[in-house]
Chain A
Amino acid sequence: MEGLAIPLNHVLFVAALLFITGLVGLMIRRNVIFILMALEVMLNAAALAFVAAGTAWQQADGQVIFMLILAVAAAEVSVGLGLVLQIQRRFKTLDMDQARRLNG
């Protein structure tokens, strides 16, 4: 296939939109599970940008990085869910604002 059917700018716009969605979610949600989901959204936004750019320039790198991001996301989720379990067990809540014992 030659190039990209959709203009690259459109894809990047969607990716930016996704990234900002995730970022805002990260900043305003208090529930730790939602924070994790927001992180996933941000990762996928970056992955989308990579795939689109890789296709646009006919380079395999973009796809390779996408695979890497998948692996990172999987690892991150496994650690993150473990943390979620521990937070639930210790603080009896999933509200991140309650878990602030490391304050100065």
Chain B
Amino acid sequence: MSQLIWLIPLLPFVSSVLLMVTAGGLPRRLIAIMGAGSVGLSAILVLMTGLEFHQSPEPYTLLLWTWMQVGDFAPEFSFYVDQLTIVMMSIITGVGFLIHLYSTEFMEDDSDYSRYFAYMNMFVASMLVLVMADNLLLLYLGWEGVGVCSYLLVGFWYKDPANGAASRKAFVVTRVGDTAMALGLFLLFTELGTLQIQPMLEAANATWVTGDTIPAIAALLLLGGAVGKSAQLPLHTWLPDAMAGPTPVSALIHAATMVTAGVYLIARTHDLFLLSPDVLLLVAIVGLATLLLAAFTALNQHDIKRILAYSTISQIGYMFMALGVGAWSAGIFHLMTHAFFKALLFLGAGAVIHCLHHEHDIFKMGGLRTKLPVVFWSFLIGSAALAALPFTSGFFSKDLILLAAFEVPDVGPWLWAGGLMGAIITAIYSFRLVFIVFYGEAHTEPDRQPGWRMAGPLSLLCVLAIIGGWFGMSLDSVFPVSDGAHPSFAVEAISIGIPVVGLFVAWLVYYKRSWSVSGITDSGLGTGLRNFWHHGWGMDTLYDALFVNPYNRVSHAMRGEWVDHIYHGIVALCVALHRVFSGLQTGRMRLYATSMVFGLIVLILLLRWTA
């Protein structure tokens, strides 16, 4: 089996290429079978790999070929498998397969069925390359591959210019982070001479001591890439707009897998971050700031998908905080449980949107509890896990993160308090969503029910969102084990109780309506704050003023600049030369022969004189 792991990314890749070259010429059934089936087969292969790995838990590398050879630089096309890889592969192919299956029904009416599955399969293949890569260059290939697929899928309905703008924004903003990451790779290669992850980390430990400047710079640059891809402060603005794509795309790419690539990158290179404690603390602070900012923003959104998008940013903030406090396993654990419940929530939202003729505004929904029972239960379970109510999957992972944060010396209690604040707001906004959409009066009637291909994945993800946290994973061989110190009982009790308080508040305000918030929100300060939060703390306005508008103005001013004249001159020269040479093509055979003869004579004479 270990010799066959190259099949795992290859299957979706081949399916994607076939779907691209046939360009929709295949029957729809076949497209669906190829699109979902290839990912399903990969999932089975991952399962087999995982079972085999469970029996002999020894990390191994599979070398396929040497990618290129330039001097000492010979990156290989090789895959590395350890527990972290297995976990990531399982999430990508498992959740990915469910979402593909769901998509076969969700996209049924779309005329670009084939293009959709081509992009989705290409995404899965790239993401698998990203997590299986043995060296950072191959990882970067997958990294950019998922970026391209994200761009293509956000702008999938490209006829609406707004979607095109959203996809460009996603691409450009993540590019900022990718550039930082590329610089980080250059730095690591020049300093350590290799990009192979395991030897590189060993070399880093051997070359540098904790607190050196160069590993700090390298870790900062990698963090830049991770922040861009994982939509963390200050590069988070692209994710809410990325909701312009089809909902299953949001579920797979912008919630369950791609946006967690940054978390994976930091976890994979954790030795480097351990060498620079300041950067590691920065990771935690970035996570905390992002999770609070995004949670407050999610509280004030009307669009069902934007709420979920901000909640994704917020949850990834928790993962970053976990990484920053050294709770590596807890971070990856939260990544996994988040993939389950967030995919569930997004697919549920997709089902609502699908059944309510593309309605996105939660205040135009309502009373769907009895009308869409499957979706209601999915949402209820997903929200419970998101809010980390006891004994759901999100509870176990978030609890681990909060307790680990409390353990950190000096700043620990602050991180913990911030995380708790985020947790209570998470509970409020997730149950606000449930109460507004599924209780109260109906404003829109559903015109259809989800079929088995939508209900099936939803039910399976429901099960995973509940039980996904019951089985702790063992990642001890990958990460340094944290000490087993346990905080006091009060800390644990507060961490567990906080989400329930949030649920209660949401119940009072949005279900019983016994406690109205309109008194607060309609006051001058309240309205201002609500608008401020609704627009994501004015980040978009700020970036527009700082970067986008000045750039537009400069490029506008540069039109007709003298630089252009150089290029116009080159064009004019080419045209003139073209006239001369095409004039020589007279079509007269004798002229050609004669000029050849004279040319030959000149050449011979030249040779005589020079020799």
Contact = CB atoms under 8 A, between A and B. Distances in A.
A30 B593 CA distance: 12
Interface residues of B, number: 13
Contacts of A28: 590
Interface of B: 581-590, 593-594, 597
A103 B590 contact: no
Interface in A69-104: 96-97, 99-104
Given A23-B597, A27-B597, A96 B590 contact: yes
Interface in A19-34: 23, 26-28, 30
A103 B586 contact: yes
Nearest to A30: B590
B587 A27 contact: no
Interface of A: 23, 26-28, 30, 35, 96-97, 99-104
A101 B590 contact: no
B593 A97 contact: no
A27 B593 contact: yes
Main secondary structure of the interface of B (DSSP, over half): helix
Contacts of A103: 585-588
Nearest to A24: B597
B590 A104 contact: no
B594 A27 contact: yes
8 contacts: A23-B597, A27-B590, A35-B589, A99-B589, A101-B587, A103-B587, A103-B588, A104-B586
Nearest to A101: B587
A35 B584 CA distance: 22
List the 6 closest pairs (A to B, CB-CB), nearest first: A104-B585, A100-B587, A103-B587, A104-B582, A102-B587, A27-B594
Main secondary structure of the interface of A (DSSP, over half): loop
A2 B480 CA distance: 94
B593 to A, nearest CB: 5
Given A30-B590, A96-B590, A102 B585 contact: yes
Given A26-B593, A103-B588, 10 more contacts: A23-B597, A35-B589, A96-B590, A99-B589, A100-B589, A101-B587, A102-B585, A103-B586, A104-B582, A104-B583
A56 to B, nearest CB: 23
A86 B589 CA distance: 16
A100 B583 contact: no
B585 A97 contact: no
A103 B590 CA distance: 13
B391 to A, nearest CB: 83
B597 to A, nearest CB: 6
Nearest to B582: A104
A102 B583 CA distance: 12
A71 to B, nearest CB: 23
A96 B590 CA distance: 8
Contact of B586 (A23, A27, A100): A100
A18 to B, nearest CB: 16
B599 to A, nearest CB: 13
A96 B583 contact: no
A102 B586 CA distance: 7
Nearest to B589: A96
A2 B404 CA distance: 105
Nearest to A23: B597
